[in-house]
Amino acid sequence: MFSKNKLAAIRSLVADGCRIQGDITFKDGIRIDGVLVGSLQGELADTKNGSLVFVAEHGTVSGAIKADVIIVNGRVEGPIHASRMLELQPKARVSGDITYAKLEMHQGALVSGCMIPLLPVKESVGKALLETEVVAQERPQLAGHSESSPSATIALQGSSRQVERAQNA
C-alpha cells in the first residue's frame, strides 16, 4: 500500500450486506464492502490528501470510479480514473479501462481492459500537436489509380504521408 503518503480519512461506508443503486458523490474517503450499482465520484477534499475509494475484498462496484486515490481488493466492472494513485491488491478483479498517474499492482490482481498512464504533457509535445495538420485533397493523377480515386495528405511535424482510399467498384 502507499504507506509513504497519508491518505484521506474514510468517512462513508457501503457496508457488507448492503446494496445501493445510484451514483455517489463523496468527499474525503469511502469504503465499499457491499454492492454499488452506479458510479463513484470523488469531490475535491478539504485536505491535501484528496479523495479516496477503497473497494474491499467482498465489495463490488458496477460503474465508473473517479477519485484521487483508488485502492481495489474486490470487484470493479467499469472504468477507473485515479488522478494520483491506483493500487490493485491481490484479490482485485477489474473489468474496464484504467487511467492512473501512479500504479501499484500486486501479484494475483487481474485486469481485463486497457491500462492508460496519465503522463504530464511537455511543452514540446503540446507544440508539436498544435503544428500537426491534416489536409484532405483530391489527387486525380495517382499512378495505378483511376482519376476519381480520392486521397488525403497528412502532414505531421513537417513530413507528409499520402493515404489513399480504394474506390468502391
Going residue by residue through the chain, which has 169 residues, state the pLDDT in tens, using 9 for 90 and above: 444 557 788 989 999 999 999 999 998 899 999 999 999 999 865 567 789 999 999 999 999 999 999 999 999 999 999 999 999 999 999 999 999 999 999 999 999 999 999 987 665 455 555 544 443 344 444 444 444 444 444 444 433 333 333 334 4
Dihedral sign from CA coordinates of 101, 106, 107, 108: negative
Q: Which residues pair with 3 in a beta bridge?
A: none
Query: What pLDDT, on the 0 to 100 scale, is given for residue 9?
Result: 87
What contacts 110, CB < 8 A, 6 or more positions away? Answer: 92, 93, 94
Residue 5 cell numbers, joined: 503518503
Strands (E), the chain: 10-14, 19-21, 24-26, 29-32, 35-37, 40-42, 52-55, 60-62, 65-72, 75-77, 80-88, 93-95, 98-100, 103-105, 110-112, 115-117, 133-138, 150-156, 159-164
Query: What pLDDT, on the 0 to 100 scale, is given for residue 156?
Result: 42
